[in-house]
Amino acid sequence: MKLLASNATLKKMAAVASVSTALFLCLIKAAAVIYTGSLSVLSSMIDSLADVLSSIITFIAVRFSDRPLNERHRYGYGKIEAVSALVQAAFIIGSAGFILYDGVNRFIKPVEVRQTTIGLVVMAASLILTFALIAFQKFVVIKTNSKAIEADSAHYSVDVLSNLSVILSLFVVRYLHWQWFDIVTAVIIAIYLIINAVKLIYDALSEITDAEVDDNIKNNIINIVCAVEGVKGYHDFRSRVSGARMFIEIHLELDGNLSLYTAHAIADEAEEKIIAAYPQAQVIIHQDPFGLHEKRLDHQINGRCGM
């Protein structure tokens, strides 16, 4: 319980920092757009505006996702984080579409980029703030495994590349006077935003549709279980993720002559070792007699623990 409370606090801090940073960046970039007329700066500003809305959604999501279990939501509210990631992806795609549309228009009717010094100062400041926010978000994701914070951090990781691209674009326009380079940069940023949004959608849908945990985690849990004395095999391993929580179900194969108390003690030991390795996990273990032939969830799993 203390771990979940600590994780909740970290996620809320990350969400507040994200909203505050995105709002500030949006305001200073908007001022830069007015002074420069740069489409690449505009693309970065629109991305920051989307980040403001997305970060607000993230803030709401992390507040709901850590609500305690109740009669109607016995698995908690963790999946709301995946839903928020889908909404954020929609904002990213919408923003990218606007940039592409404006880029095509500017090829037809060029707009001169001016006051590049102001743009460069603003984008440099934006880059520094973005790096600081990402570092904090990465720390929170490692500690909490929050999909919402991870999705939000992905936005700002893209922002680093887009900010660098905009800075390059402003340098080229300032010293080489290639006005078209500003449009090309904006279009490239828009395409990259769409690619990133598609990845967010895929990851969020994987969680919503109860995809298995990462193979490394799955194999490690199997190794932990098989190392428990008395366990002769396993079958019907199932797992899913919901926000910061991970749900594990597994059938252990034990000596059929063991007493119920002994079998229960072995299962408890396996559960404790899994939770020690993954404190965010909730584990359900069913005990079966070893060698029993029955209809199983996955007959392709070799659950003999090396036997």
Confidence class of residue 1 from pLDDT cuts 50, 70 and 90? very low
Mean pLDDT score of the chain = 81
**Does the residue 302 lie in any domain?**
no
Q: Say what percent of the chain tops pLDDT 90.
A: 17
For the stretch 243-301, pLDDT in tens is 768 899 999 999 999 999 999 999 999 999 999 999 888 899 999 998 777 676 655 54
Could you tell me which residue, 61 or 13, shows the higher pLDDT?
13
299 in a structural domain: no
Report whether 242 contacts 275 (CB < 8 A): no
What CATH number is associated with residue 132?
A: 1.20.1510.10
Least confident of 1-10, 39-48, 191-200, 232-241: 1-10
| pLDDT at residue 4 in the model | 47
Q: Are 162 and 118 in contact, with CB atoms under 8 Å apart?
A: no
In angstroms, what is the C-alpha Rg of the chain? 25
Tokens of 131: 């790096």
For residue 51, tell me if it sits in a domain: yes
Residues 47 and 156 placed together within one structural domain of the fold: yes
Q: Which of 174, 208, 242 is the last residue of a domain?
A: 208
Please tell me which residue, 167 or 76, carries the higher pLDDT value. 167
Q: Quote the number of domains for the chain.
A: 2
The closest alpha carbon to 40, from 90, 103, 88, belongs to 103
Q: What is the pLDDT of residue 301?
A: 47
In percent, how much of the chain has pLDDT > 70?
87
In a domain, 303, yes or no: no
- For residue 261, give the CATH number of its domain: 3.30.70.1350
Indicate if 243 and 189 belong to the same structural domain: no
- 273 inside domain: yes
Average pLDDT over residues 164-168: 81
| pLDDT given for residue 306 in this prediction | 44
Asked if residue 177 is part of any domain, the answer here is yes
Say yes or no: 154 and 109 in one domain. Answer: yes
Residue 3 has pLDDT above 70, yes or no: no
How far apart are the C-alpha atoms of 130 and 134, rounded to whole Å? 6
The domain boundary, picked from 208, 236, 255, lies at 208
Structure confidence at residue 188 (pLDDT): 83
163 with 257, same domain: the answer is no
Confidence of residue 110 (pLDDT cuts 50, 70, 90): low
Determine contact, residues 212/240, Cβ cutoff 8 Å: yes
The answer, yes or no, to whether residue 37 has pLDDT greater than 90, is no
Whether residue 204 is found in the same domain as residue 260: no
Q: Do both 146 and 42 map to the same domain?
A: yes
Q: Cβ contacts of residue 6 below 8 Å, gap of 6+?
A: 143
> What is each CA distance from 114 to 76, 163, 165, 179, 238, in whole angstroms?
53, 18, 17, 10, 59
Same structural domain, 281 and 135: no
In a domain, 52, yes or no: yes
Q: Are residues 114 and 253 in the same domain?
A: no
Q: Which domain holds residue 224?
A: 215-289
Which amino acid is residue 31, in one-letter code? Answer: A
Which pLDDT value is given to residue 307? 43
User: 242 and 115 in one domain?
Assistant: no
Q: What is the rounded distance in angstroms from the CA atom of residue 91 to the CA atom of residue 137?
A: 20
Residue 79 carries which side chain, given as an amino acid letter?
Answer: K
Q: Is the pLDDT of residue 302 over 70?
A: no
Question: Do 8 and 58 reside in the same domain of the chain?
Answer: yes
Residue 240 in domain: yes
- Residue 162's alpha-carbon distances to 85, 88, 165, in angstroms, are 20, 17, 5
Same domain, yes or no: 237 and 131: no
What are the pLDDT digits (tens) for 144-156? 777 667 777 776 7
Can you tell me the mean pLDDT for 95-109?
Answer: 75
Strands 233-242, 245-254: pairing is antiparallel
- The reply to whether 59 and 191 lie within a common domain is yes
- pLDDT at 303 (0 to 100): 47
CB within 8 Å of 212: residues ≥ 6 apart = 218, 238, 239, 240
More confident residue, 303 or 176: 176
HEC assignment per residue over the chain: CHHHHHHHHHHHHHHHHHHHHHHHHHHHHHHHHHHHCCHHHHHHHHHHHHHHHHHHHHHHHHHHHCCCCCCCCCCCCCCHHHHHHHHHHHHHHHHHHHHHHHHHHHHHCCCCCCCHHHHHHHHHHHHHHHHHHHHHHHHHHHHHCCHHHHHHHHHHHHHHHHHHHHHHHHHHHHHHCCHHHHHHHHHHHHHHHHHHHHHHHHHHHHHHCCCCCCHHHHHHHHHHHHCCCCCCEEEEEEEEEECCEEEEEEEEEECCCCCHHHHHHHHHHHHHHHHHHCCCEEEEEEEEECCCCCCCCCCCCCCCCCC
